[in-house]
Amino acid sequence: MDSATYAIEADVEATHWWFTERRWLFGRLIAGFALARDARILDIGTSTGTNLRLLRELGFTRGEGLDASAEAVRWCAEKGYGKVTQGDVCALPFDDASFDLVLATDIIEHVDDDGAALREIRRVLKPGGRVLMIDIAGNDHPLLDTYLQAAEVLRDASHVRDYRADEWLAMFRGAGFDAQVQSRWRLPIDFETWVERIRTPADSVAGIRALWAHAPDEVRGYYAVQPDGSFEHDALLIDAR
Ligand SMILES: C[S@@+](CC[C@H](N)C(=O)[O-])C[C@H]1O[C@@H](n2cnc3c(N)ncnc32)[C@H](O)[C@@H]1O
């Protein structure tokens, strides 16, 4: 993400429904784990700190973050969200068995070697520790899946792939986790803010609009595409240990 995108996200992460709804969902789950207040918790792909804000609100004293971007580290420091290390999820700068819980929201989809990322997460988790991952889910139907992946990569050139639920689970199992899909939901996407949030170039915005406009009815129906380009897609939460 570029500097301007971080600035926009830093501005809206406290109040925008995208972040507040997810913090609500996460908060309920994490509270159910009955972790000690001094449990060590790592948020990977911290960006401007939405999950660190949540951990603080839940009363945890040892939440920390990791992000590849120096901008992200700077924003979190400016907001007083605690320690955020600059680094790569595929080579985590932490000792084995360091964390009780690892959070990874909307980050693994951006990583080329997702298997390496999950193995690293496994390595730094304490025995019995847990991972909560939220990401977009691909579609089991090839046609529907093709349109989703095309829209995603037009919107964000760093997008790699939205995996299907079975692909996610296989990936987690391959990294040594016992994983399950904890929940799935339809995520309504407001087109204007979706592209504005990440500063999608104008020609790519036009490309997504054209993609939706010329898509078969089956595709437009499934994704509930609206005249302004807004749509719905699938998100999932994986709970692994
Ligand atoms: C879409 S943002 C997600 C931010 C936040 N977790 C959320 O859910 O809103 C993805 C973040 O992951 C970071 N990121 C991407 N690849 C990474 C990698 N290989 N290692 C660590 N962070 C990475 C990016 O710098 C960016 O800040």
Q: What is the pLDDT of residues 204-222, one digit of tens each?
A: 999 999 999 999 999 999 9
Residues 128 and 107: their CA atoms lie apart, in Å, by 23
Q: What's the 126 CA to ligand 1 centre distance in angstroms?
A: 23
Ligand 1 pocket by C-beta < 6 Å: which residues?
Answer: 1, 45, 47, 50, 66-69, 72, 88-90, 105-107, 110-111
In this structure, the number of other CB atoms found within 10 A of the CB of residue 112 comes to 10
Atom of ligand 1 nearest to the CA of 45: 12
Q: Is the pTM of this model over 0.75?
A: yes
Determine the Cα–Cα distance for residues 148 and 6; give it in Å rounded to an integer: 24
Query: Percent of the chain at pLDDT above 90?
Result: 71
The tens digit of pLDDT for each residue in 137-174 reads: 999 999 999 999 999 999 998 888 899 999 999 999 99
Query: Ligand 1, residues 9, 107, 118, 159: which to mutate, most atoms within 8 A of Cβ?
Result: 107
Does position 21 have pLDDT exceeding 90, yes or no?
no
Task: Using CB atoms within 10 Å of the CB of residue 101, give its burial: 0 to 12 exposed, 13 to 18 middle, 19+ buried.
Answer: buried
Fold designation for 3-138+160-188+233-240? Rossmann fold (3.40.50)
pLDDT band at 8 (very low <50, low <70, confident <90, very high): confident
pLDDT at 23: 80
Q: In b/e form, how buried is each residue of 181-196, taking b as 16+ CB within 10 angstroms?
A: eeeeeebebbbeebbe
- Poorest-confidence range of 14-28, 71-85, 118-132, 222-236? 14-28
Per-residue model confidence (pLDDT) at position 153? 94
d(CA 216, CA 110): 28
